[in-house]
Amino acid sequence: MFQFFQHHLIPSLIGGYFLFSNAVGAMEAPTDKSGAFYRFIYRFGHGVAGNLKYALKAKFPEYVEPEQK
């Protein structure tokens, strides 16, 4: 498996980005009853996903979805 990722680095990175982005996007918004750890994970995950989006968009604009207006 590791050799596959070494030989197909760019598709693996882009695939990992989409998996992570979809997992973060599927998280429910925290409510008043949510614990502090879940609120932290929610904010941290969305922050990382957003930064990854801009980093990948600079290098591979054709793979990142366009921003919605």
Residues with Cβ < 8 Å from 29, sequence gap 6 or more?
42
The tokens for 59 are: 């290098």
Residue 10: its pLDDT value, please?
Answer: 79
Spans in the chain with pLDDT lower than 70: 63-69
Residue 36: its pLDDT value, please?
Answer: 94
Residue 67: its pLDDT value, please?
Answer: 62
Residue 30: its pLDDT value, please?
Answer: 92
